[in-house]
Amino acid sequence: MSSSDDDVPLAKRSSKTNGPSSPKAKAKSVVLPTRVSKAANAKADKEYDEMDVDGLGKNAPQSTSISNGPVKESSDDPGRPKRKGRKPAIKEETDSDSDAPLTKRRRTTNGTSKSASAASSASPKASPKVSKSVSPSSARMPSTIITGGTDDSDSDVPIAASKLSKEKAQIMKEENQLSRKLEAEDKKAAAAKKRKATVVKKVEDSEDSDVPLAKGKRRAAPAKKANGVKKEEESDDDTPLVKRPRATKAATVKKEPAVKKETKGKGRAKKSETPATTNGEADEGEEEEGEEEYKWWEQPETDGTIKWTTLEHNGVLFPPPYEPLPSGVKMLYNRVPMTLPVEAEEIAGFFGAMLETPHAKNPKFVENFFKDFQEILKESGGARNPEGKKVAIKEFSKCDFAPMFNYFEAKKLEKKALSTAEKKALKQEKEEAEKKYTYCLLDGRKEKVGNFRIEPPGLFRGRGDHPKTGKVKKRVLPEQVTLNIGENTPVPPPPPGHQWGGIQHDDKVTWLATWKENINGNIKYVMLAANSSLKGMSDFKKFEKARELKKHIGRIRDDYTKEMRSIVMADRQRATAMYLIDVLALRAGNEKGEDEADTVGCCSLRFEHVTLEPPNKLVFDFLGKDSIRYHDTVEVTPQVFKNIKIFKKAPKGPGDMIFDRLNTTDLNEHLRSYMPGLSAKVFRTYNASFTMQREMKKIPNEGSVHDKYAAYNEANRMVAILCNHQRTVSTSHEASLQKATEKIKALRYQKLRLKRQILFLDPKRKKKDPDFFKPDPDIDDEDWVKEHQKALIEQEREKITKKFEKENEKLAADGDKEQKASVLEERLEVLKEMEADFKKENKTGTVEPKGRAVTVEKIEANLEKMEERIRKQEIEVKVKDDNKTVALGTSKINYIDPRLTVMFCKKYNVPIEKLFTKTLRDKFKWALESADENWEF
């Protein structure tokens, strides 16, 4: 164990960028030899392992293929070689027949390494053809031998161990020690653990944090004042963030608005609680009037395979049928309005509605759409011109959907123009219609249903470079929908004239309805909402599992650190992959099909996705889930660096898998051997929550609520960065940033003027305190000051003029006579004064304070306030800018154990409303009550 202390996994991340990456290298795909038997495999592993390592560094092609630019592959970029680049590359080599099995080749080695029989008997795609072609650059590499095992010490790799982040190493070391400690204690406690049965709210051991306690804890004492820990909290006691467990109802209500008001401070009064619809109905949220709430987290634990005993619901809501367009609204073909069969018109309308979206400019989207459109057109009888003659719709470019687009826009406007009352009525109507679908009865309890609406037809909006984007997503008929419902409960009637596709009573699943979508053949489900008990429980379990990993992580890390030197290539790859998943929080990376966007995760990384940057950095550049780019340069341990070098060795080239002996199933199977239920994704949860906790611990318990809130967000941000949660910068961002920066400058100028006022009153100050009057570098620019002064005058002018006009309008409306222009002139005299003042100011460097009884002290007080405002603004701008590409929400919703946030709120006295929106509070209500200020992940 101790041996591992030196090679703790660590990686230092630097420069995550979003900029365009290098142009794609000419792809040259190479197929690795096929392994034939286990023995042979092992032998091959050995050979593989002994291949040259050091030679690679200099000569290997290190280009990436991600090439084109923006974070998100924007689909309208015609020149993107990504996928295209890969296929031809393989084609070149295949020289066998064309397109069919092509791309499969890139995974050939993977597929065949597993089983001998599969390899020999397998389909052409797994052809054991060994390519002799080797990329020119690597052809003549010098050969250095690494033997397995012992002499594979780290010393033969150029290291810069000292450069590796000490801090991180330390953290991980501690983490591992803790883990081992936990493991040990866990064993000890194992015996005692047995008697978990009865609830008993034990106050227990709050002084200790890393108690191993597994399950029992979750019911432990909410907010017992027992150990008098919290003082201040006592004072505002009537809003404890934690409900007393015994209070089944009563206590639950009210409190929320109370806290909210408190939080709001200034804004309060306003609407506070009123907007809660008032329609009398369900009033959602606020704890169901009087109805008693089921707290599953206070119930004894269940095994979880049975999801319900009784289940009642009203089925699903289908989208309204298609409403044909008015006869005047038609697609034009060759400028001639076409009458389309309704089926086709609907499809055309889908496209028409999207005319101004980027999709409509994406060639793939257009192509797919048009193909489907033509087909449907053919099936339904074809388009007809005004004379009633059939017209073949052959070319997309001759289609003009503008009339449709305009029609939809007009409709939108029309809707927008409705009065508030009308809108409200409309909304209410809709809600009324949906009402019965929004809840179901699960074990007799009312639970909210999530997506009870069947997805409406439309054009498939695949993300990234999806081969099927733009295809028609068909309308779902009741016949395609299967319901899952309790036995002996009435089956909701299908829409008139229809039948359900099927009815089942499976209590081992949570869905209420399912259907198959026509684009990818994916199965869709109607499930309960996030705040339901079922979702809550599995969320809770997810986090508990991640916490459980804490006890094993040390051992796991030790193991993979060791196995990274294994002679068995598969093991070495697995260990290396585990490192990446653990340290970089990569996703597992399941295999994907040809008809999906080309995105990867850890196991599916290919040659071109990782570049070596000696001595010990790896550059990752690939598209991950949702085609979000992962681009990062990471410092890794020498062994990891070396391994990747080996995994990328010739004859591998672009298009080939880095982990060719590994897949997610193997990986997860291995992980399961450490801990039941452990899989790759748990590491993401674990590391995210762990990071959050670590960052939180750094936050000082001082300052304003706003400060703490900002600090929390900063910690949250760290987690989001770890998980690579990005968002696209909104178009308005640049502008709003500009505006904010300008605002700061304006404030700085105001500050300058205050100083100049002091100087006016006390000219000697400058000598006494030259530092104080040092020019502000940010507004040093004389031109800017002059411009700004002009702008201020302009502003004033507008203000006065507008006011004047408004007054006149009013006078006119009242039938009175308008004021003469001379009145305005007169009022605008002030501007001249201003101008003169500025002139004087610029000349003398002082400002005459206006108003009476101005003292230096008062100005100084103002100055301080001004500085505070400036500071605040600046921080705001910085945060805004830092966060422009980082999405905090995803980690908050999915990765950060909500009990950490609850703990933070209690410990730092921050109202939970600041950190959790209503839906989040609702979703995490189990956490609100089960963590106190000492809770630890």
Residues with catalytic function? 895
- Give the integer Cα–Cα distance in Å for 653 and 131: 11
Q: Which of 9, 61, 101, 111 binds DNA (CB under 7 A)?
A: 111
Q: Specify the residue for token string 């597929």.
A: 111
233/517 with CB nearer DNA: 517
Q: Residue 275 or residue 290: which is nearer to DNA going by CB?
A: 275
Other C-beta atoms lying within 10 Å of the C-beta of residue 551: 22
CA 539 from chain centre, in angstroms, equals: 17
Tell which positions 448-467 bind DNA, by CB under 7 A: 451, 453, 455-456, 458, 460-464, 466
Residue number, 365 or 641, with CB nearest to DNA = 365
Q: Is 723 in the site for DNA (CB under 7 A)?
A: yes
Task: Assess 202 for contact with DNA (CB under 7 A).
Answer: no
- By beta-carbon proximity to DNA, the closer residue of 338 and 597 is 597
Per CB under 7 A, contacts with DNA among 64-83 are 72
Q: Identify the helix (H) or strand (E) that includes residue 235.
A: helix 232-235
By CB under 7 A, residue 680 contacts DNA: yes
- When binding is defined by CB under 7 A, the residue of 109, 362, 664, 901 that contacts DNA is 664
Near DNA by CB under 7 A, which window of 15-23, 47-55, 641-649, 721-729?
721-729
Of the pair 387, 814, the CB lying nearest DNA is at: 814
**CB of 226 or CB of 523, closer to DNA:** 523
Minimal distance in Å, beta carbon 697 to DNA? 23
Separation of alpha carbons 160 and 36, rounded Å: 39
Q: How far is it, in rounded angstroms, from Cα 863 to Cα 765?
A: 15
Q: Quick one: which of 369, 439, 895, 937 contacts DNA (CB under 7 A)? A: 895
DSSP 3-state assignment of 834?
helix
Among 724, 757, 789, 808, binds DNA (CB under 7 A): 724
Using CB under 7 A as the binding rule, whether residue 275 contacts DNA is answered as yes
Residues 328-357 interacting with DNA (rule: CB under 7 A): 357
* Binding of DNA by 797 (CB under 7 A): no
Which of 260, 265, 268 is closest to 912 using CA atoms? 260
CB of 405 to DNA, least distance (A): 13
Identify whether the C-beta of residue 634 lies closer than 8 Å to the C-beta of residue 14. Answer: yes
Q: How many residues does the chain have?
A: 937
Containing H/E element for 164? none
Q: CA–CA separation, 919 vs 889, rounded Å?
A: 12
Q: How far apart are CA 134 and CA 23, in angstroms?
A: 21
Question: Interacting stretch for DNA, rule CB under 7 A, among 29-37, 322-330, 802-810, 815-823?
Answer: 802-810
DSSP 487-507: TTSPPPPPSTT---SEEE--T
| Phi/psi at 624 (5° precision) | -100, -160
**Separation of alpha carbons 752 and 866, rounded Å:** 10
Residue 510 burial (C-beta neighbours within 10 Å; 0-12, 13-18, 19+)? buried
Q: According to the binding rule CB under 7 A, does residue 240 interact with DNA?
A: no
Residues 858-877 vs DNA: string with x where CB under 7 A?
Answer: --------------------
* Per-residue binder mask for DNA (CB under 7 A), 422-451, x = binder: -----x-----------------------x
Scanning residues 530 to 589, which ones bind DNA (CB under 7 A)? 535, 538-539, 542, 587-589
3-state secondary structure of 849: coil
Residues 625 to 644: which contact DNA by CB under 7 A? Answer: 625-628
- The residue count for binding DNA (CB under 7 A) is 93
Closest-CA residue to 753 (of 776, 719, 770, 735) = 776
Q: Which of 789, 797, 806 is nearest to 830 (CA)?
A: 797
Chain residues 502-531 in contact with DNA, contact rule CB under 7 A: 506, 508-511, 514, 517, 519-523, 525, 527
Q: Binding of DNA at residue 779 (CB under 7 A)? A: no
Q: 507-511: which pairs have CB atoms within 8 A and are 24 or more residues apart? A: 507/306, 507/307, 507/308, 507/309, 507/311, 508/305, 508/306, 508/307, 509/307, 509/484, 510/307, 510/308, 510/534, 511/484
Q: How far is the CB of 523 from DNA (least distance, A)?
A: 5
Place of tokens 């993300």: 463
Options 397-405, 558-566, 704-712, 801-809: segment touching DNA (CB under 7 A): 801-809
Closer to DNA by Cβ: residue 70 or 386: 70
Residue from 59, 668, 909, 934 touching DNA (CB under 7 A): that is 668
The yes or no reply on residue 254 touching DNA (CB under 7 A) is no
CB of 391 to DNA, least distance (A): 31
Q: Applying CB under 7 A, which part among 58-66, 86-94, 388-396, 592-600 lies near DNA?
A: 592-600
Residue 132's contacts (CB-CB under 8 Å, 6 or more residues apart) are none
Q: Binding of DNA at residue 891 (CB under 7 A)?
A: yes
Find the part of the chain contacting DNA (CB under 7 A) among 208-216, 596-604, 635-643, 902-910: 596-604
